[in-house]
Homo-oligomer: A and B are copies of this chain.
Amino acid sequence: MHEVKSIESIQSTNDFVIKFANVNGSGSASANQMFAKAMFRMGIPVSPKNIFPSNIQGLPTWFEVRVNEKGYLGSRGGVDIAVAMNPQSYSKDVDEILPGGYLLYDSTWKRNFNRKDITVIEIPLTQLCVEAFKNPKQRPLFKNIAYVGALSVLLDIEYEVLENIISEQFIKKPALIEPNLKALNLGRNYVLENLPYPLGITVSRADKLEDKILISGNEAAGLGAVYGGATFCSWYPITPSTSLAEGYEKYAKKFRIENNTGKNLFASVQAEDELAAIGMAIGANWNGARGFTATSGPGISLMSEFLGLAYFAEIPLVLFNVQRGGPSTGMPTRTQQSDVLACAYASHGDTKHVVLFPSDPKECFDFSAQAFDLADQLQTPIFVVSDLDMGMNDWVCDKFKWDDEYKYNRGKVLNKDDLDEIENFGRYLDVDNDGICYRTYPGTHPEKGAFFTRGTSHDEYARYTEDGEVNAATLSRLMKKFRTASELVPEPVIEINGKDSCGVIFYGSTSPAVHEAKDILKEKEINIDLMQIRSFPFNLDVWEFIANHDRIYVVEQNRDSQMRTLIMAEGGISPEILRPLVHFTGDPIQASYIVNKISEREVNYKSHINAKKR
């Protein structure tokens, strides 16, 4: 370990970024996650992000963990500690280390890194494992555990925390506990015996996370679907949505087994493609089950035709879109928010869809469950749109809550008794004048209530018609329904921080970065008011917030300012008011990026205003 000379080494407690550089397919994920979990267990807010190639084995992959006691958990930029385990990417990895930072590498093969301003920590991990473990297949895995052990001493992580994590993890394979602990101590002991410790960077128990959990958005949404009463899932594998369907299946297999029979109280079908996936979900919903599908961008494109059918024939449906980098196959393992327009206006003809935008796993859970009620209430597809960053990475969020008094809202469905009392059932009669009509499930009544569902133009009795006025009336009623929707969907979360402040609109996974930016800007005496949009169509609060601001930055992770477009198009909002603040590299946006963009323009704005006043 050579000490930094030209510059002070970084000193901090519970505030740093550590980045693990590994080889794809080398089994580093569980060790890295163990590190993140240890932070969480010590009560220190943590955000791990997996940066992986669209590839299975042999290419560079990174795991970036931000640890921040104040709870700033967006991507930060810069690396304080690099754990460089992949010679392929050494140069990039070392370059990223901030001056004064630390580099830990496997010194079985010694290197000179040519940076005088960092502290290099040499641990011959491979060699240690070769000596300690006989089975050559296990060695690479234990090498990863060993560096976690080393870090535990270097950063002062509580040993019991790691010990517990290992015991829990291998609760079903207890034979593995001992060798994992051995590997952990291999790293620990090497540091204890050979290196100065702790580093300038350390952790210390903070107990900030009492009501928090650590979970990925996809798993949360899958669980939400179980709680929301979904009994049918049809999906086609695609990164980054696959783990959502898998999450649903995992929880359904646990909590949805019939008592006496052992049979499944759900069905999950891996479809042959996305067209079939959505077709099946439509069929299930038409037939009275709560069904959903999960996909990502290319799937949305392929589902467009069916989405128009569900919209026009008014069939409930829940569709999760975990966004990745587009267009086309794009960047399958990177994050973007570039399907906003594709979802809101999916399909040809005049169509508009209800879209929910969760901003963390808690909202993924909540909105997922709620989406099934909304779909049944509104008899239309409900999109739940998250992204790779929130979907596949573990995020710290509030614990999930469920009110056992809450009853599912299955919407306007007539049962046999209802039908017996009705003279004149018409599937598309707007009886309540809210644009939402009454449906029946197949098989309800021997003589009444049957109707013919179709994507062709139809009258109020679901009969095919080519009468233009009748069809126009249907289309207009659908707009009425869309207005009704705006009263049912989740309202925005608004935070007003001062008089004359500029507004900032955001949604989804940019939330941590925006909140951090707010605090930084405040220090620079720039106050921003926040509105986190949580759904489309926009409800009154959204328009009110916009009306109350003369300049608003719309933060989003796409090139074309898609949410801004949607706001302008739907609300008739003057474009000068809405300023695009976009970031679309596929990496999560950082607070500093937002701060720069806003402060630049706000400073101009203020001098402009002051000039006017003078």
Contact = CB atoms under 8 A, between A and B. Distances in A.
Interface string A309-332: 101110000000000011111111
A261 interface: no
Contact of A348 (B326, B468, B584): B326
A185 interface: no
Nearest to A60: B466
A349 B336 contact: yes
B352 A348 contact: no
Oligomeric state, in copies: 2
A449 B430 CA distance: 62
A18 to B, nearest CB: 21
A347 B301 contact: yes
A326 B349 contact: yes
A560 interface: yes
A240 to B, nearest CB: 14
Contact of A326 (B308, B313, B468): B308
A341 interface: yes
Contacts of A472: 559, 584-586
A468 B334 contact: yes
Interface string A291-320: 000000110111011011101110000000
A112 interface: no
A239 to B, nearest CB: 12
Nearest to A59: B466
A350 B327 contact: yes
A346 to B, nearest CB: 8
A339 interface: yes
Given A53-B466, A568-B569, A297 B331 contact: no
Contacts of A305: 298, 301-302, 328
A471 B325 contact: yes
Contacts of A573: 575
A509 interface: no
A152 interface: no
Contact of A329 (B327, B456, B475): B456
A592 interface: no
A327 B349 contact: yes
A562 interface: yes
Contact of A558 (B54, B350, B468, B571): B350
Contact of A457 (B300, B304, B325): B325
Interface string A39-70: 00000000000000110000000000000000
A339 B348 CA distance: 5
A560 B350 CA distance: 6
A312 B559 CA distance: 13
Given A305-B302, A471-B325, A330 B586 contact: no
Interface in A570-599: 571-576, 584-587
Contact of A350 (B347, B456, B584): B584
A412 interface: no
Contacts of A349: 297, 325-328, 330, 336, 338-339, 342, 558
A579 to B, nearest CB: 11
A256 to B, nearest CB: 32
Nearest to A469: B585
A102 B311 CA distance: 44
A351 interface: yes
A571 to B, nearest CB: 8
Contacts of A302: 302, 304-305
Contacts of A336: 349
A479 to B, nearest CB: 7
Contacts of A313: 328
Interface in A479-497: 479
A606 interface: no
Given A328-B347, A466-B53, A572 B569 contact: no
Given A53-B466, A568-B572, 9 more contacts: A298-B305, A311-B327, A325-B349, A325-B457, A327-B455, A331-B466, A331-B468, A338-B349, A472-B586
The 10 tightest CB contacts between A and B, nearest first, are A326-B349, A468-B585, A327-B349, A572-B575, A328-B455, A297-B348, A301-B304, A301-B305, A350-B559, A329-B455
